[in-house]
Chains A and B, each alone.
Chain A
Amino acid sequence: MPKPVIQVASLTKRFGSLTAVDGVSFAVPAGATVGLLGGNGAGKTTTISMLLGLLLPTAGTITVLGEDMLRHRHRVLPRMNFSSPYVDLPHRLSVRENLTVYAHLYGVRDSRRRIARMAEDLDIGRLLNQRTGSLSAGQKTRVALAKALLNEPEVLLLDEPTASLDPDTADWIRGYLETYRDRTGAAILLASHNMAEVERLCSDVLMMRQGRIVDRGPPMDLIRRYGRTNLEEVFLDIARNRKGAAGGGRSPAFEEASE
């Protein structure tokens, strides 16, 4: 079975009396895409922030690529990357300048060729000399994805990677991420509100509510267990606490990695 590259145990984050993440445990094996689903305030962004080291947990452990993220995050960060519509690149820099700076920060060899490759892959070649602040939301999302893939990360954390994209481009990006994952064996943790996207990309899903993982499993298994026809209906059942599902249905790899 694939070795887990992300291992989270009893992760907890409290802000004063508010418990944003409450004893969460999960694992993501190499070559898998795991979806983190939940309503607003469920704890998805807080969880991702702790995985990245932007936020210190109150309790629990995070191991990424075999390293304790709380003690040795700088050993792992060159092999990770992240994209979120809630974080920007400097607006006054051109796309090429931004990608050059981040290529240097991540220690990318032959950064010019890599940037050219990413520009071709993500169809941002004609944007390279434009100021990042002048781009449309969809163009910014593609540039942010180029930044996130510059160092060809083994662990990729994506917060709504297709937000603001038209359906055609969003579909292409999903295909790109699938191919990237299959080619590199990268582990992807994906937070998204797009259920169709999660169904397509994710081998397993973590359903969060009020800081806890309330259910988990492969999308089709969750749909079957909840007696629904798609993941969106399952999401609504869980978000509204309408009914539970019987039994567990985690995929074997996910099951093993989570233990």
Chain B
Amino acid sequence: MTPPATGNQARHRIRAPSGGLSVRRIGAMVLRHLYVLRGSWPRVLELAYWPTVQMVIWGFLTVFLATNSSWVANAFGILLSAVLLWDVLFRGQLGFSISFLEEMWSRNMGNLFVSPLRPIEHVLSMMAMSLIRTLIGVTPAALLAIPLYHYSVFTLGLPLVAFFANLLVMGWAIGLFVTALILRYGLGAENLAWFVVFLLAPVSAVYYPVTVLPDWLQYVAWALPSTNVFEGMRAVLMHGDFRPGLLANAVLLNGLYLGLGALAYLYSFRVARQRGLLLQVGE
């Protein structure tokens, strides 16, 4: 070991503190999670595993139904597209929440929040990681569907980008609520990250039209961005009709829920600072 250098020999400088958001700090947090993925191929495999397995099972079921159902035969790909897009929502939310949980599992919150990292930068880094994890998860499944079923979800064209973006943003909104609860109640609320999205599946009209639901439940369903996305997806696939109204609804609802989620997160962060929860987190 050597003593600290004196004078100018080892004098270094830190960059001038930025007043607002720092892309460098957001990048540092993304880098932190990419290091985790790079160092663990089972984690990368796990990301792609379930979407691919789901797609394979539902794909063969669709092939079977297509030969026995004129409805499915007329719109081959509805189920496959629904499976893949549903995974965008699930992986988007999980990717966001897991990035947060990683810090709690490793008891790193105390170090992070005494660094210059701002809560909003932390949130933006989790969104970036959610996008990366989702792309790693669903891209192999989407590509595998092409040789297996001669169906490409990419034939949806530009609407696919809109559907993907809206489901991802909805995942972030849910992720913000989940992390707010984990901040407030600790790792006891961890399981929410794994199952909360599935509470919304029945009313998101993923695999069936929203009209299948009882009238009163349809009001609940239309209040979800996901329902608007999946109805929009079916309109494109069955009638070749892109419905901007549904997209506008999804965007507005996402804006509302993302805003509420951000408020919930910031409120929980403040409560955590009032109660000293940031130093108590961990297993």
Contacts and interface: CB of A to CB of B under 8 A. Distances in A.
B102 A90 contact: yes
B139 interface: no
A106 B12 CA distance: 12
Contacts of A123: 1
Which label, helix, strand, loop or mixed, suits the secondary structure of the B interface? loop
Given A54-B110, A74-B17, A92-B36, A105 B28 contact: yes
A63 B157 CA distance: 56
Most chain B Cβ neighbours within 10 Å, of A54, A109, A176? A54
Nearest to A149: B4
Interface string B106-127: 1111111111111000000000
A84 B110 CA distance: 9
Interface string A79-100: 1111010111111111001001
B17 A107 contact: yes
A120 B274 CA distance: 39
A80 B114 contact: yes
Contact of A108 (B7, B14, B106, B279): B14
B10 to A, nearest CB: 6
Interface in B1-47: 1-7, 10-17, 22, 24-25, 27-29, 31-32, 35-36, 39-40
Contact of B111 (A102, A108, A152): A102
Contact of A121 (B4, B111, B113, B276): B4
B276 to A, nearest CB: 5
A87 B108 contact: yes
Contacts of A147: 111
A78 B27 CA distance: 17
Nearest to A97: B35
B25 A82 contact: no
A15 B275 contact: yes
A91 B107 CA distance: 9
Interface in A87-140: 87-94, 97, 100-102, 104-110, 113-114, 117, 120-123, 131
Nearest to B15: A107
Nearest to B20: A74
A47 to B, nearest CB: 12
Nearest to B274: A56
Given A88-B106, A109-B15, A122-B1, A53 B276 contact: no
B116 A114 contact: no
B108 A54 contact: no
Interface residues of B, number: 50
Nearest to A133: B106
A145 B110 CA distance: 14
B106 A91 contact: yes
Contacts of A117: 5, 10, 12
Contact of A75 (B17, B24, B110): B17
A176 B4 CA distance: 7
B273 A53 contact: yes
Contacts of A97: 32, 35, 39
Contacts of B13: 109
B22 to A, nearest CB: 8
B116 A107 contact: yes
B14 A54 contact: no
A248 interface: no
B207 to A, nearest CB: 37
A94 B102 CA distance: 15
A66 interface: no
A17 to B, nearest CB: 14
Interface of B: 1-7, 10-17, 22, 24-25, 27-29, 31-32, 35-36, 39-40, 102-103, 106-118, 270, 273-276, 278-279, 282
18 contacts: A15-B275, A56-B273, A74-B17, A75-B17, A77-B17, A82-B114, A93-B36, A101-B35, A105-B112, A105-B117, A107-B17, A107-B22, A107-B24, A109-B14, A117-B12, A121-B4, A121-B5, A179-B6
